[in-house]
Amino acid sequence: MSKIVEGLYYSESHEYVKVEGNFGFIGITDYAQKELGNVVYVDMPEVDDEVAAEEEFGAVESVKAASDLLSPVSGTVVEVNEALEDEPGLINKDAFENWIIKVELSDKAELDNLMNAEAYKAFIGE
């Protein structure tokens, strides 16, 4: 059973957004990290890069697969989780604590296109 956190927004490509004010913390879900296996590298954008909803912003590589990261929302990258550069496996320890990028949201209405915890749980069949 995957850990699913209430109060977050979820995409069909298994990213989550944790919203705080006008900012969103984006990472991959617990389900996604389990599917990937041991994460060995995280490719992240630069600070000040623009991300667009449903478009690629990086990738996560594991020992068995590489997976593109699709942004659930649009905005400007204000921070990247530098801890993941040295220790990408933190995502396996706790995917929800170890977000990948923090963005300033450009359109909060996009959140309406995402799933809540209950809908995501049904989506992954748990």
Q: What is the domain partition of the chain in residue ranges?
A: 9-111
Q: Which residues of the chain have pLDDT under 50?
A: none
Integer CA distances (angstroms), 52 to 45, 71, 76, in order? 12, 6, 9
Q: What CATH number has the domain spanning 9-111?
A: 2.40.50.100
pLDDT of residue 51: 98
* Phi, psi dihedrals of residue 92, rounded to the nearest 5°: -70, -30
Return the pLDDT at 84.
98
